[in-house]
Amino acid sequence: MINYEIVIIGGGPAGLAAALSARKAGVENILILERDAELGGILNQCIHNGFGLHTFKEELTGPEYAWRFIERVQKENIAYRLNTMVLNISKDRIVTAMNRDEGIIQIQAGAVILAMGCRERPRGALNIPGFRPAGIFSAGTAQRLVNIEGYMPGKEVVILGSGDIGLIMARRMTLEGADVKVVAELMPYSGGLKRNIVQCLDDFNIPLKLSHTVVDIEGKDRVTAVTIAEVDENRKPVPGTEERYTCDTLLLSCGLIPENELSVNAGIELSRITNGPVVTDRLETNIPGIFACGNVLHVHDLVDFVSEEAAKAGRSAAEFVQNSTAEKQSSEPVVLKAESGVRYTVPFTVDPGTMEDLLKVCFRVGAVFRDAYVSVYFNDERVMHMKKRILSPGEMEQVILQKKKLLEYDDLKTVTIRIEAE
Amino acid sequence: MERKELTCIGCPMGCSITVELEGDEILSVSGNTCAVGDKYARTEVLHPERTVTSTVTVTGGEKQRVSVKTAGNIPKDRIEACMEAINNVSVSAPVKIGDIIIENVAGTGVSVVATKNIS
Ligand SMILES: Cc1cc2nc3c(=O)[nH]c(=O)nc-3n(C[C@H](O)[C@H](O)[C@H](O)COP(=O)(O)OP(=O)(O)OC[C@H]3O[C@@H](n4cnc5c(N)ncnc54)[C@H](O)[C@@H]3O)c2cc1C
Ligand code: SF4
């Protein structure tokens, strides 16, 4: 069996940043395993710009952002294997992987960092009975076809779902000569960034129909038309509001979901809300020595936050293999709770004794709030109260907790984040 | 007098801004909540600009396409001409990030550059 101090599953932005920070913390033996033929993950197909504003203070395209990290990984001589699919991770951190040259390989890891990213929600989102003609693609698949393979999936397009990938593809296919007729969104708001709505739809006069869904798809071999209709508060189509669009392609952009089959097999506890592992402030899962970061942990909209989170996972894993945290552990971690309007927090617990000086707690809200307050409670006492002009489900929010404040507070059991009207 | 409606992209508020103008002179900006919106609306109405990203065919490389971008913003009404130029060129490998693929695309004074390495 091969031995490595840290094995990282996935060579996307999360895996790359985790590797670099673990190296910076002094770990020599690091291995990245990537199932694709190149490093960079999903960024390779995101050829649009808008990445890295926070980290590099300039707007990069996906491949450029990825390259900044790949270059450093290569300079640092961090080992990686491409075309290598991880099949299993055991509780005692034996990683089983497979590639063409070596067949099945087994690696004993001192620590494991999960950085497998996410995948698109399956078509189940489309609740229409009957057969499925050709011409229905997920937006991410269409993105790969157009941007990597240079193949246009169709000429007349209807898009269901207004997540960022759908919006980006509306512009991309329009620029390549397709006629994008409409984007239908089931919810009364779009999950996509404002900037994408303006620059991908408004710029090309593509209508965005909120509270609408697809009710009928026509076509035997290939899609020939799609009918959309307005939905009521219960998301049921309203009769009489149907509009029919002739088209040869239907793109589905119905959200992303963390890729956690491997985690489940390893016995890692997942959150029902994020679909990612339940982690401590050090991004450690319930299995000691297995850490998680990036889209496998929770879906991010900005890659900058992915890199930042991953750097922390790298530091924590380094500490774990250098064995410096074990003795500092205090007995009961403080539980982070999401309530009234807050859907989840990451992390889920914090240990004031071993936490870093500042902890960024990420969270998402469940609906759009205007002129509301983000409040933080220590036990039952409100300790932070911040006014926000707008909070929306599409944008990840953060509050920062100070180690000093947590340590000072007597008998701290819970930290709760709530959205309050006043 | 002309009226233009736009959505500010400065933050998630997404204020609907109305600009009133007479030719090239802006008479009023309203609907914005802060100064960022005012500035955005003024440039957006008079000189809207965008960065264009796409891909170009590569010959003799490990991949068939290389991703590209305009090295800076170009006027919005030149996007179509820029895309046409991009779709009419091909390059041969190797290509490096930052390599100029098209100089002064569609007369904008801005170059189209590669955003990926292809060997
Ligand atoms: C379409 C799209 C558009 C986006 N646009 C923007 C934007 O404009 N600006 C911005 O800042 N952010 C954007 N993002 C967000 C950002 O790019 C992602 O959040 C980020 O790429 C996530 O990084 P990751 O490393 O967690 O996941 P990924 O990039 O998905 O990387 C995961 C890697 O793990 C590998 N892997 C998975 N399972 C295995 C296995 N079993 N064995 C081996 N390897 C495995 C995968 O092949 C992949 O390479 C966008 C995301 C998407 C999907
Ligand atoms: S005007 Fe100000 S508040 Fe309104 S969207 Fe623009 S930046 Fe945000």
Is position B31 within any domain? yes
Is position B96 within any domain? yes
Same domain, B72 and B109: yes
Same domain, B67 and B37: no
H helices present in A8-138, as ranges: 13-24, 53-56, 62-75
Residue A130 pLDDT: 63
pLDDT at A327 over 70: no
A201, A183 Cβ separation under 8 angstroms? yes
Residue A53 pLDDT: 81
Report the pocket of ligand 1 as residue ranges, CB < 6 Å.
Answer: A 9-15, 33-36, 41-43, 46, 48, 50-51, 85-86, 115-117, 140, 143, 164-165, 168, 259, 262, 294-296, 300-304, 306
pLDDT at A126 over 70: no
Residue A330 confidence class, pLDDT cut points 50, 70, 90: low
Q: Do A67 and B13 touch (CB under 8 A)?
A: no
Is position B76 within any domain? yes
A394 chain-B contacts, CB cut-off 8 A:
12
Q: Do A148 and B97 touch (CB under 8 A)?
A: no
Same domain, B30 and B80: no
The total number of structural domains that make up chain B: 2
A348, A280 Cβ separation under 8 angstroms? yes
Per-residue pLDDT tens digits for A250-294: 999 888 889 899 999 999 999 999 999 999 999 999 999 999 999
Same domain, B94 and B43: no
- From residue A86, alpha-carbon distances to A167, A302, A394, B54 in Å are 32, 26, 31, 32
Per-residue pLDDT tens digits for B99-111: 999 999 999 999 9
How far apart are the C-alpha atoms of A312 and B62, rounded to whole Å? Answer: 35
Same domain, B110 and B58: yes
| Ligand 2 pocket residue status of B14, Cβ below 6 Å | yes
Q: Do A147 and B65 touch (CB under 8 A)?
A: yes
Residue A180: strand pairing partners: A157
| E strand spans, A100-173 | 103-114, 118-120, 136-138, 156-160
Residue A191 pLDDT: 80
**pLDDT-above-70 percentage for chain A:** 96
Residue A392 pLDDT: 85
Chain B residue with CA closest to A173: the answer is B54
A61 chain-B contacts, CB cut-off 8 A:
53, 67, 69, 115
Q: In what order do the strands lie in the sheet with A358-365?
A: A342-346, A358-365, A397-402
Is position B58 within any domain? yes
pLDDT at A325 over 60: no
Is position B110 within any domain? yes
How far apart are the C-alpha atoms of A54 and B64, rounded to whole Å? Answer: 32
Is position B66 within any domain? yes
Same domain, B85 and B109: yes
Q: Which among B118, B68, B117, B100 has a CA at the least distance from the CA of A47?
A: B68
Residue A3: strand pairing partners: A108
Same domain, B65 and B91: yes
Is position B14 within any domain? yes
Can you say how many angstroms the Cα of residue A354 is from the centroid of all Cα atoms in its chain? Answer: 27
CATH of the domain at B87: 3.10.530.10
Same domain, B73 and B108: yes
**Least confident piece of the model among A49-63, A117-131, A209-223, A228-242:** A117-131
The Cβ-side half-sphere exposure at B20, using a 13 Å CA radius, reads 5
Residue B103 pLDDT: 95
How far apart are the C-alpha atoms of A19 and A28, rounded to whole Å? Answer: 10
Higher-confidence position of A331 and A106: A106
| Ligand 2 pocket residue status of B108, Cβ below 6 Å | no
Tokens 């020599």 correspond to A28
For residue A13, count other CB atoms closer than 10 A to its CB.
32
Residue A390: strand pairing partners: A370
Can you say how many angstroms the Cα of residue B12 is from the centroid of all Cα atoms in its chain? Answer: 21
Residue B87 pLDDT: 93
Nearest-atom number in ligand 2 for the CA of B37 is: 1
pLDDT mean over B54-63: 92
Question: Which chain A residues touch B if contact means CB-CB below 8 Å?
Answer: 44, 47-49, 59-61, 63-64, 67, 146-150, 175-176, 193-195, 197-199, 202-203, 389-390, 392, 394-395
Beta-strand pair B74-75/B49-50: antiparallel
A396 chain-B contacts, CB cut-off 8 A:
none
Same domain, B13 and B34: yes
Per-residue pLDDT tens digits for B10-28: 877 788 899 999 988 999 9
Write out the H or E segment, with its range, that includes residue A403: helix A403-408
B47, B19 Cβ separation under 8 angstroms? no
Same domain, B58 and B109: yes
How far apart are the C-alpha atoms of A83 and A176, rounded to whole Å? Answer: 31
Same domain, B94 and B72: yes
Q: Which among B74, B81, B86 has a CA at the least distance from the CA of B115?
A: B86
Residue A131 pLDDT: 64
Q: Which domains does chain A have, with CATH numbers?
A: 1-120+255-328 (3.50.50.60), 122-254 (3.50.50.60), 330-422 (no CATH)
> Where in the sequence is the domain holding B25, given as residue range(s)?
2-47
| Ligand 2 pocket residue status of B37, Cβ below 6 Å | yes
The whole-angstrom distance between B81's CA and the closest CA on chain A is 11
Q: Do A61 and B14 touch (CB under 8 A)?
A: no
Q: Do B115 and A61 touch (CB under 8 A)?
A: yes
**Chain A to chain B Cβ contacts (< 8 Å):** 73
Residue A195 pLDDT: 85
User: Can you tell me the ipTM of this complex?
Assistant: 0.88
Same domain, B58 and B42: no
For residue B100, count other CB atoms closer than 10 A to its CB.
13
Residue A134: strand pairing partners: A222
The whole-angstrom distance between A414's CA and the closest CA on chain B is 30
Residue A231: strand pairing partners: A237
Check CB contact of B72 with chain A, cutoff 8 Å: no
- From residue B85, alpha-carbon distances to A318, B55, B71, B90 in Å are 49, 11, 15, 10
Is position B119 within any domain? no
- Ligand nearest the Cα of residue B31 is 2
Residue A124 pLDDT: 57
